[in-house]
Structure 1
Amino acid sequence: MQRADAPLHVLSPHASTRRGGAGITGHHSASTIRRYETAGVPTVSPITLWHQLAERLSVDELVMLGDALTRRTNPLSDLDAMVGSLDRLTRHRGIVALREAATLVRPRTDSPRESECRLLLVRAGLPEPEVNGTILDEDGNFVAYGDMVYREYKVLVEYDGGQHRDDEAQFHRDIDRLDLLMALGWRVLRFNRSHLRADAVIVARTREALLQRGWRPHNPPAHRPTAPQFR
């Protein structure tokens, strides 16, 4: 949600008509901007916004935004479209960061903190997990979506946001879900915001769980999505 004191950013196709004034930050673009509509308000498209923010955001932040655009529920874009859009950019400030971020964006992510956890694990040399993979029981019945799934080793890394603590119904579902996963032989690691402040703990515990389940550092990752290819 935007802060009440945050400026409103207004984009014009011509520098001479760029808006300004109290509480307004004006921009102009010489390139053609695809118009989009959000709650009846004209805006730029989600992918265009991703491009524009490359000047202001770090690579990790661009990955989190890209993950959000391709999220599991109600996605605003898809990875192929995002990658394809970069081929059309010329002399764009932030293009290097966008290209790097595009190789790390993973569809089906549910939250920025999940993205943060995934990047942390991969950069520590651990296998890349399957994002929000479907977990079934022996009869093929749905059990859960796992935040970060190491299917070969039956290790599941979960990030618990505030709703898991504050929503009693959600907390109840989490308990039942955990029991089912443990009964099926899954090793479930649960982390929250406090763990991200001491991120070595997340890496150490995940590494230990994977080693206990048979992973070795020289093994190829159990799940490695194909990185986007740029022309």
Structure 2
Amino acid sequence: MLEVLDARVFATGVTAAVLHGLPVPLALRNRLELAIPAPARAVRRRGVTARSLRIAESELTEFSGIRITSIARTWCELARTISVPELVAAGDVAIRRIGLEALEAAARRHPDRRLHARLAAALALLDPASESPKESELRAIVVLAGLPSPRANVTIRAPDGRFVARVDLLIEGFDEVLEYQGDHHRTDLVQWRRDRTRESELESLGYHVTEVTQADLERPERLIRRLEATLRRKGWSARPIRSRWFPMDHP
């Protein structure tokens, strides 16, 4: 399609994110987002999300001959479409490639001021220690809900120094481990058995393990209520907050 459009047209948003290898929700991966530099009028094509964007030439690059927004500008444009926790997941990948300062600079100069609050909320949560998008998304939900902030990818050892596990997230002071479980943890029998042994070892050391799946990320309020109950049993006395930055549960 790009070959028959105005030469100034470029891929942006989800389309550019996929080309750059930034994580986006599976349901959006086939979305086609194209833009043209303002003040030119946006391209109108069936099946295309089209925009006219104020953009500097330095914010554009090429991928296999296709003009696309840079990683930093692409991340900013994702704020139009995805939740803040999902934006954090994409940002954690981006900062390992271009650094936090590049994203901060792109967010500051982004011409659409309506996106600035969302970008600032995500920037405050980015962590280069994160090693998977779902782990990043989970961490963001926990922090945005006002629960104690977890550390990412913490090594836990037995009292004798023996390695026990490297956990996705640990809420220190409450010995609460959060583990994101993709479908392979359920369908791979060897992995499932390994997970159960690992969990038993952690609990023998006094840790509590909360396993989280995609279904939990899609219903964050229920997840927060579960975590709140667990943390209260361990002495947490504050209250979660209702975040504006992630979707509310569906009925």
Give, in angstroms, the shift of residue 101 of structure 1. 2.0
Is residue 2:28 matched to residue 1:7?
no
Aligned twin of 1:148:
169
Is residue 2:131 matched to residue 1:128?
no
* Alignment root-mean-square deviation, CA: 3.6
- Three-state SS of the structure 1 residue aligned to 2:139 is helix
CA distance in 1, matches of 2:173, 2:29: 47
Tell me the alpha carbon deviations over residues 39-78 of structure 1, each in whole angstroms, 9 at most, x when there is no partner: 78664332121123333444344233223424xxxx3333
Aligned twin of 2:71:
46
Tell me the alpha carbon deviations over residues 122-157 of structure 1, each in whole angstroms, 9 at most, x when there is no partner: 344321111222323334444323222112221111
Pairing of 1:18-167 with structure 2 (within 5 A): 29-34=54-59, 36=61, 43-70=68-95, 75-87=96-108, 89=109, 91-93=111-113, 94-167=115-188
**Judging changes above 3 Å, is the alpha-carbon distance between structure 1 residues 57 and 120 closer, same or farther for their aligned structure 2 residues?**
closer
Identity %: 29
CA distance in 1, matches of 2:65, 2:55: 25
- The count of residues paired between Structure 1 and Structure 2 equals 212
Pairing of 1:172-211 with structure 2 (within 5 A): 172-211=193-232
| Alpha-carbon contact 2:87-2:122 (below 8 Å) kept | yes
Give, in angstroms, the shift of residue 26 of structure 1. 7.3
- Three-state SS of the structure 1 residue aligned to 2:97 is coil
Structure 1: segments with no counterpart, 5+ residues: 219-231
Q: So what's the TM-score if we normalise by structure 2?
A: 0.65
Q: So what's the TM-score if we normalise by structure 1?
A: 0.69
CA distance in 2, matches of 1:139, 1:95: 49
